[in-house]
């Protein structure tokens, strides 16, 4: 697969006719878009206030109050609230959900103190419903609009979903999501490694949202899979930084601007996704950002997937498992091809390229 990616990139460079002034102008425009996508200090404080309101609700619930013999200091809440997701990693924007998870112990309706990580599904559902009612009772969640009431979702990861009444920020509360918290901290380190990772992520996520390709419930990509795709795009840069690669694709990585990085993303993954989704080739290969390469090993997955991006911290999980329909996969391949074509043609004029991040139709193909 590395050969196919490299061949697509070589062909792209052969076809393109970039002029340096236009490239610099495009980098400037893309940087302005990234700056506009970054949250303000007010939005950061707004989310911090939401966290404190939820923490106060939990602390006031009798279910989380310690009793004599609980081996907990009097008055200390038995549940600890932790932040993860995009707010933790620094990749959130003003419309992002706020992801929270509860860790600790809970006293069920029979008075039994339970460790959350070992609770039954029935106790877990009961606890989430009690949290939901407490959020409403304290005025943190719920409005007069019936469609805006908190909900308990029994999904792959059960959670309480609600909109903060004061700010309107959408909040998801899960239980013992240690993996999510760890992944968020790891992503935070990637952002700190090179600021272009954050810029590339924001641009690709905006592109995916504009074209409705970041809607996992509708059979498209989730945000974690987009992160892994960008980590794979960044692999040559990591290798160059560590001195572990002599590949031609690593050369000049540190000098690449946003236009060049985006071109590499769309060209390489356009080629990969076309092989997987359109031609059905190399389906046995997985992209592993943990190993830093494509490989055909690892634990057997429960299903056969259209795309395979191995979770770097759980090889038994496919980060791109939500990509599940021929329609969405065709749209993804076609849009990558359209962006690559537009990048290669002309002189990389900003007006010719940036429209992909603004207009849903993307091109006359749709």
pLDDT-derived band at 299, boundaries 50, 70, 90: confident
CA 195, 199, 204, 205 torsion: positive or negative? positive
Whether residue 182 is predicted with pLDDT greater than 60 in this model: the reply is yes
Q: Note if the pTM is more than 0.95.
A: no
Q: Could you tell me the CA-to-CA distances from 93 to 27, 88, 90, 239 in Å, in that order?
A: 21, 12, 9, 30
Q: How far apart are CA 341 and CA 160, in angstroms?
A: 43
- For 284-294, how does the pLDDT look when each residue is reduced to its tens digit (9 = 90+)? 888 888 887 88
Beta carbons within 8 Å of 318's beta carbon, 6+ residues apart: 286, 301, 305, 307, 308, 309, 310, 311
pLDDT band at 12, cuts 50/70/90? confident
Q: How far is CA 138 from CA 53, 57, 128, 133, 134, in A?
A: 9, 7, 15, 9, 6
Would you call 134 exposed, middle or buried from its count of C-beta atoms within 10 A (0-12, 13-18, 19+)? buried
Model confidence at 363, pLDDT cuts 50, 70, 90, reads very low
Residue 361 has pLDDT above 80, yes or no: no
| DSSP string for 264-324 | HHHHHHHHHHIIIIIS--STT-EEETTTTEEES-SSPPSS--SS-EEETTEEEEETTTT--
pLDDT of amino acid 138: 93
Strand residues in the chain grouped as ranges (E): 79-84, 98-107, 113-115, 151-153, 159-163, 170-175, 286-288, 293-295, 309-311, 314-318
pLDDT at 89: 92
User: What pLDDT, on the 0 to 100 scale, is given for residue 216?
Assistant: 81
Reference 81, options 61, 66, 99; nearest CA is: 99
Question: pLDDT value at position 344?
Answer: 66
Q: Which of 30-44, 63-77, 245-259 has the highest mean pLDDT?
A: 30-44
CB 11, CB 337: distance < 8 Å: no
Average of pLDDT values for 147-172?
Answer: 84
Sign, CA torsion 237/231/265/245: positive
pLDDT of 248: 46
Reduced DSSP (H G I as helix, E B as strand, rest coil) percent helix, strand, coil of the chain, to 5: 50, 15, 35
User: Span 333-348, mean pLDDT?
Assistant: 67
The pLDDT assigned to 134 comes to: 94
Tell me which of 315 and 19 has the higher pLDDT: 315
Helix (H, G, I), strand (E, B) or coil at 175: strand
Task: Return the percentage of the chain with pLDDT > 70, whole number.
Answer: 80
**Structural tokens at position 228:** 């892994």
| Tens digit of each residue's pLDDT (9 = 90 or more) over 75-132 | 678 899 999 999 999 999 988 999 999 999 999 988 899 999 999 989 999 999 999 9
Query: Tell me, what's the pLDDT at 220?
Result: 82
pLDDT band, residue 165 (cuts 50/70/90): very high
Report DSSP state, residue 220. S
Going by pLDDT thresholds of 50, 70 and 90, the confidence category of residue 348 is: low
**What is the distance between the alpha carbons of residues 326 and 156, in angstroms, rounded to a whole number?**
23
The predicted structure's pLDDT at residue 24: 86
Average confidence (pLDDT) over 207-215: 84
The confidence score (pLDDT) of residue 228 equals 84
């Amino acid at each position: 697969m590395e050969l196919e990616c490299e061949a697509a990139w070589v062909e792209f460079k052969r076809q393109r006719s970039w002029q340096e002034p236009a490239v610099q102008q495009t980098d400037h425009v893309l940087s302005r878009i990234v700056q506009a996508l970054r949250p303000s200090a007010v939005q950061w404080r707004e989310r911090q206030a939401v966290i404190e309101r939820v923490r106060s609700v939990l602390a006031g619930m009798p279910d989380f109050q310690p009793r004599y013999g609980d081996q907990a200091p009097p008055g200390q809440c038995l549940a600890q609230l932790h932040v993860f997701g995009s707010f933790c990693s620094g990749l959130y924007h003003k419309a992002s959900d706020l992801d929270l998870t509860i860790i600790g112990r809970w006293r069920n309706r029979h008075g039994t103190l339970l460790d959350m990580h070992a609770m039954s599904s029935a106790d877990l559902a009961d606890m989430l419903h009690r949290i939901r009612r407490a959020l409403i009772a304290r005025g943190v969640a719920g409005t007069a609009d019936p469609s805006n009431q908190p909900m308990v979702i029994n999904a792959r990861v059960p959670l309480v979903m609600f909109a903060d009444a004061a700010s309107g920020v959408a909040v998801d509360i899960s239980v013992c999501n240690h993996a999510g918290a760890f992944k968020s901290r790891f992503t935070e380190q990637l952002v700190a490694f090179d600021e272009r990772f954050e810029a590339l992520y924001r641009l690709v996520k905006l592109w995916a949202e504009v074209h409705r390709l970041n809607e996992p419930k509708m059979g498209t990509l989730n945000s974690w899979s987009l992160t892994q795709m960008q980590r794979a795009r960044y692999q040559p840069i990591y290798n160059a930084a560590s001195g572990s690669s002599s590949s031609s694709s690593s050369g000049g990585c540190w000098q690449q601007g946003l236009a060049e990085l985006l071109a590499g993303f769309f060209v390489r993954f356009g080629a990969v996704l076309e092989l997987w989704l359109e031609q059905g080739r190399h389906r046995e290969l997985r992209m592993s950002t943990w190993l830093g390469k494509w490989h055909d090993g690892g634990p057997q997955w429960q299903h056969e997937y259209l795309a395979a991006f191995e979770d770097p911290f759980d090889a038994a999980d496919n980060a791109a498992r939500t990509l599940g329909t021929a329609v969405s996969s065709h749209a993804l391949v076609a849009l990558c091809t359209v962006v690559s074509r537009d990048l290669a043609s002309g002189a990389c004029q900003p007006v010719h390229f940036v429209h992909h991040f603004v207009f849903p139709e993307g091109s006359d193909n749709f």
